[in-house]
Amino acid sequence: MMKLLIAEDDLNIRQGLRALLETEGYECLEAADGDDAWEIYQAEQPDLVLLDIMMPKQDGYSVCRRIRQVSEQVPVIFITAKSEEIDQVLGLELGADDYIKKPFGSREVTARIRAVTRRCLRKMDKEDSAEPFAMADLQIRPDELRAVRGEQQIELSLRDLKILRLLFENTGRVVDRDSLFNHCWGHHYLPSSRTLDQHISKLRKLIEHNPREPQIIKTVHGIGYRFDN
């Protein structure tokens, strides 16, 4: 499940976005000001950030700047009522991937999130093939950010895809925990066993027939994880 941070000081807009995006299958985190947004980003490492520009304590520009100091990969979309060209230019210079202008419709929000996620995926994974690959009876489709099993379609986050691709590229070999963190979370992220184990557990619930007896992501105790063809 893809994890989104919604940083917006307007309670009605924030809760409306959360309700919309949770029905679309996203896991949502909320922040009412810039300080909370930065703290939650550091603690939770979301897959995508929606940033209101005009927030108390720190504005969206400041939060975006801090995020880009530690990660150039996570997609950032600004939410703004300000439409002046200078604001858009400043936001893009800071590393924002797109804008959503208030007022906005639900279809626009979900379409922009999917488009930005796919665009960032292509940008950050230029060295990797976008060709589908198979893990057991699961077909992974990187360019669609999903996996397919028969008629079932499973939405994947950027991080889910990076984990699966890394395991696939090392079929039959153990991928240690440090390698998973460095490749899938980034070198700037301070590793936590709890963070990794929780993410693997959620991913197994999505893709395994029986998450308690995984056939795709196997645990190698004390070392890491392995996929066997």
Sign for the CA dihedral angle at 105, 107, 112, 113 comes to positive
Compare 112 and 124 and report the one with higher pLDDT. Answer: 112
Q: Is the pLDDT of residue 21 over 80?
A: yes
Cα-Cα end-to-end distance for the chain? 24
Q: Which amino acid is at 82?
A: K
pLDDT tens, 51-91?
998 899 999 999 999 998 888 778 899 988 765 555 666 66
Q: Which amino acid is at 100?
A: I
Confidence (pLDDT) at 40: 95
- Architecture per CATH, 3-124: 3-Layer(aba) Sandwich (3.40)
User: Which listed CATH number (1.10.1060.10, 1.10.10.10, 3.60.20.40, 3.40.50.1580) goes with 133-226?
Assistant: 1.10.10.10
**Average pLDDT, rounded, for the chain:** 84
Same fold, 3-124 and 133-226: no
Q: DSSP string of 2-14?
A: -EEEEE-S-HHHH
Q: Where are the domains of the chain?
A: 3-124, 133-226
Query: Has this prediction a pTM greater than 0.95?
Result: no
Give the count of alpha carbons within 13 A of 39, CB side only.
9
Contact in structure between 218 and 208 (CB atoms under 8 Å):
no
**Average pLDDT for 122-129:** 53
Kindly state the tokens that stand for 117.
């996620």
Confidence (pLDDT) at 36: 96
